[in-house]
Every structure is written in structure tokens, then in C-alpha cells.
Amino acid sequence: MTDQTLIILGASGDLTARLLLPGLGALLTAGHVPGLTLIGAATDDWDDARWRQRVHDSFGAHGASAAAESAGQRPPATYTAPAASDVADRARWVRTDVTDPDDLRRLLGEVHGSAVIFFALPPAVTAKACEALLGVDLPAGTRLVLEKPFGTGSASAAELNALLSRLVPEEQVHRVDHFLGKSTVLNILGLRFANRIFEPVLDAMHVESVEIVFDENLALEGRAGYYDKAGALADMIQSHLLQILALITMEAPFTMAAAEFRDRKADVLRATRLWDDPATSSLRARYTAGDLDGRKLPDYADEPGVDAARGTETLAEIVLAVDTWRWAGVPFRLRSGKAVGDSRKEAVITFKRPPRVPDGLHGCDQPDRLRIGFGPDHLAIDFNINGPGDPFELDPVTLEADFGQGDLPPYGEVLRGVFSDDPTLSVRADTAEQCWRIVEPVIEAWHSGAVPLREYPAGSSGPTLPLPR
């Protein structure tokens, strides 16, 4: 493998310390990316020593634990293996205005081997940095890695895509969605396409509804600068939860080659739309002061850095239709909230009732369900059997299995794809635009005030929408 240089633009930020560097540390510790040089770049007046300390800290046990725990995984002891320490010891800080072509040219002069440029920047700055890069010769094979949110709507995503296509070929653009690096999310593929049991009943004939829920008991956690501009819809649904929907609904690719896998995901997202009017198919709400796990949380509007007038939602829910032969008529509820008391992170496929239960079998009307947990990672099947006691009295049972954990935390998995030039787990240009297209009627209705901003006390379960029948 040739030497590579990872340049992080916006390297002094929270994303770099909290997720990116721990993921990188895990990857290096697992023996990937030999010969890596790491360069941090931002306008901050840091030096190599300060950056190296940041890298060491994030590679160390604390950062590693945070990354692993947020992935619902058991934290490994440490990521400061010699290979990771060595990269941290040699890391360089290059003070850079990422919107200035001269600065970027100087920065790229430091590249050893091929370059990976990670934009750990807000969307507007990312676009400016890409424009500045148009005036710079990029080393052959340069990969560009972009974080969510990718644009702020389908038009700005299309503009950014057009800009990126002038810099490098699409296969060298990696739009990161770290949920695609979660082992439990990727397990959906094995569950669906490597078994005979489930796939034949995953369709509109057998499935009543599908829920994809990511309710967290985390609140704002000091991220107002980013979150207050994004909100729950863009932060979680437009990005991560639509990727999960694509994995649950896509047709089987012939091979796992990036092009085929991404084609199948794109097919199904193109067929996805809001179920009905945003007034009935979307919900937005914001937490007010409350108690959560013994912590007193302030009203979201009083959190430091929040602009209450912006009306940002901390809980969003939408109901979608997937207009394919397989799924037409099945409602998909996508929901995510912050500061929710009952932390629930799962996809639940609820099956229709059996066409007829024989007279004389009685006592239980629980529908069959397949539940895929995203933290902790597990799989459960709820169904009815005769059970103990009266042999004609039905009882609900649950078969459960814990998914084995992946070797790497989600950011490590995604970065592995970037460094090995494999875009399978990255979001393709057309898909990024489709994901905005799907939520745009909701955004417009929310902006026009057609859907009121509801409230829920922090620590409560928050409001929900009735599912269409």
C-alpha cells in the first residue's frame, strides 16, 4: 500500500476530537493504513505540539471509549498502540485559511504519498473550501471526505456535487454517514440477503408497518453551534435514518461491489416520498425543562448558544411511503429525538396478523415483530406460541440474539473504506440529493408554520404520530 496523508480541515473542532480521531486511532491500532501522515489544518494559532497532544488524547482510552460506547460497543482498553502513537508523534499542524487557495496550495505541498482531505467543517465553509480548491492542483488520486449535513437542501447539495465533480471523480468523493459504518446497521444486509427465512416475508403482503427510531437520552451536550442550525430532521432523519431505510427496503445487489450496492440503495430512495400531507405525516417538537436519569435539564431554548427564535426541533418524526412493487402501501415511521426518557434505538418490522387463527386458540393478539437494535446491538423476534400452561392459550415469546460487534467503531469502519479507496459505505452524489428531496416538503411546511412546534418535557417519551391504517 502506498503512503497516504490525511489532512483534516477544521481540525480544532469537536467532531475531530470526539469521533474522527478515535475512529482513526482504532483503525491504526488494528494495523490498517501503514505509512500514514496526519496533518491538522485550521485558522487556530496552534503548533505541532498542541495538535499532537490533541491527537494523543483522542487516540487514548477516553476517546476510544466514547467512540465505542456511542456505537453501543464494549470499549477496547486503548487505541494508543505503537502504530497509532507513531502517527500522533509525527502529526503536523499547518495553520490554514481553508478558503484561501494560496494557503491550500502550501498545505498540499506537505502531502506525502496520496492525499485524503477530510472536511470537518460546516456546510457553507465546506463549499467555500471546495471553490478555493478549484484553483489548486490536487495530487493524483486525492480523495475528498465530507461530513453531514451535505448541503442544506437538494439544490445546495446539487451545487456542491457539481463543484466536487470538477475536483475529483465521484468514486473519490466520500460523503460520510457513520451509521453505514455501524456493524449492526451493516448486519441488515446479511440478515436480509444471506438467509431464506426473512426475505420472502419482507414485503407489503406480509408487513404492516416499519419503524426506524433513534430516541436518545442525550440532550444538546454543548453542541448548540452545530445542532441549533441543523435540528433533529437534518441531524438524524435526512441522513442516518434514511440510510437505514434504504438498507431495509433495497433489492439484493448482485455483488457487494460499490457501484451495484449504491445503485440498489439509490433505486429505493428514488421511490420514497412523504406518506401524505406534512400536516399529518410529520411532527416536530422541542424539549422543555425536565429530569432525565436524575439530571435536571434546562429548557432547550435556554441552553447556551441556542437561538430560541430559530424554532429548532429536538424531536422529529415523519411517515414515508416506498413506492416499489415490494413495499407500496406500507408506512415507514422515521423518528429521532433528544432528551427522551426512554432511549430507543431500533428498527421494528411489524407483520400483519395471520389470515386466520383457528377457533379454540386464544388469548394473545400481539403481532409478530422483527426488531433490529442499534445500541445495544441485537436482534429479536417477537411471536406467539402455545407456551406453558393451557395448551390452547397463546403466549408471546421473544427469540433474541446479540450481534457480534465489529472490530472497528463506525468512524473507523468508514475511514477504512476511504483509505482503501472503496466508496461502498459512502453516500453517492445522487443519493445525497434524493435524501433532501424526500424531506423537503416537510422543511417547507415547517418553515411556513403549517406544522406547529410542539413541546415535551425532557425525560418524557415525547409526542408521536398515529400510523396510517
Ligand X SMILES: O=C1O[C@H](COP(=O)(O)O)[C@@H](O)[C@H](O)[C@H]1O
User: What residue type is 345 in one-letter code?
Assistant: K
Q: Please give the Cα distance from 111 to 108 (Å, whole number).
A: 5
Shortest gap between Cβ of 377 and ligand X (angstroms)? 11
Total Cβ atoms within 10 A of residue 266: 19
* 373 vs 410, beta carbon nearer ligand X: 410
Residue 376 engages ligand X in binding (rule: CB under 6 A): no
Q: What residues form DSSP beta bridges with 95?
A: 42
Q: Which of 12, 29, 70, 184 binds ligand X (CB under 6 A)?
A: 70
Tell me, residue by residue from 235 to 274, as one string, x for binding to ligand X by CB under 6 A and - for no binding. Answer: x---------------------------------------
Closest by Cα among 283, 282, 314, 281 to 298: 314
Total residues at interface with ligand X (CB under 6 A): 7
Tell me, residue by residue from 390 to 429, as one string, x for binding to ligand X by CB under 6 A and - for no binding. Answer: --------------------x-------------------
Q: Please give the Cα distance from 246 to 262 (Å, whole number).
A: 10
Residue 314 engages ligand X in binding (rule: CB under 6 A): no
Residue 220 engages ligand X in binding (rule: CB under 6 A): no
What is the grid cell recorded at 233?
430532521
Contact 340, 462 (CB under 8 A): yes
Q: Which of 103, 211, 215, 216 binds ligand X (CB under 6 A)?
A: 216
Active site residue 378: no
* 71 vs 202, beta carbon nearer ligand X: 71
Residue 69 engages ligand X in binding (rule: CB under 6 A): no
Shortest gap between Cβ of 65 and ligand X (angstroms)? 13
* 147 vs 433, beta carbon nearer ligand X: 147
Shortest gap between Cβ of 59 and ligand X (angstroms)? 18
Shortest gap between Cβ of 96 and ligand X (angstroms)? 25
Q: Please give the Cα distance from 332 to 274 (Å, whole number).
A: 9
Catalytic-labelled residue, pool 240, 362, 378, 447: 240
Find the farthest-apart pair of alpha carbons in the chain and give their distance in angstroms, rounded: 81
* 209 vs 312, beta carbon nearer ligand X: 312
| C-alpha pair distances (Å), 29 with each of 50, 80, 414 | 22, 7, 15
Q: Please give the Cα distance from 454 to 299 (Å, whole number).
A: 13
* 149 vs 331, beta carbon nearer ligand X: 149
b/e map 55-75, b = 16+ CB within 10 Å: bbbbbbeebbbbbbebbbbeb
Total Cβ atoms within 10 A of residue 308: 13
Residue least distant from ligand X (Cβ): 70
Contact 176, 426 (CB under 8 A): yes
Q: Which of 6, 71, 330, 348 binds ligand X (CB under 6 A)?
A: 71
Total residues belonging to the chain: 469
Binding site for ligand X (CB under 6 A): 70-71, 216, 218, 235, 375, 410
Active site residues: 240
